Amino acid sequence: MIIGDRLRLLREQKKFSQGEIEKRTGLLRCYISRVENGHTVPAVETLEKFARALEVPLYQLFYDGEEPPKLSLMPKRRSGGTFAWGDSGKDARTLAKFRQLLSRANEEDRRLLLFMAKKMVKSKTA
């Protein structure tokens, strides 16, 4: 099923208008229409907004069943059972931006930023 069709189906099941979704998400009604008609593919962050507005878990935008789908293979966790900051999502994008900017900085500026970061962490843990 195309994501736009699924969003329209869920919206109509909830008896919401596109205008109500606009108010709940902050997205323009014309954008909502473009998504529902398959002219635009929304980003994951936008799909999260749709899910909140439709009052459904995110997986229901992709899955028709009553229960969440069973996960077949979970990614292996790092030691300690947690993912490291910057492994995925918004943190990964932030880390990528830092890497891009740091690659253009000179060595002296990188050392200064590292020094400042260490000071910031020490002041929070003290």
Residue-wise DSSP of 79-104? TTSSPPTTSSHHHHHHHHHHHHHHHH
Residue 79 domain-assigned (yes or no): no
| CA separation for the pair 66, 106 (Å, rounded) | 55
13 is in which domain, residue-wise? 3-61
pTM for the full predicted model: 0.54
Residue 75 domain-assigned (yes or no): no
Instruction: Dump pLDDT digits (tens) for 41-50.
Output: 999 999 999 9
Residue 76 domain-assigned (yes or no): no
My answer on whether 14 and 56 are in the same domain is yes
Instruction: Dump pLDDT digits (tens) for 7-37.
Output: 999 999 999 999 999 999 999 999 999 999 9
* DSSP code of residue 30: H
Residue 66 domain-assigned (yes or no): no
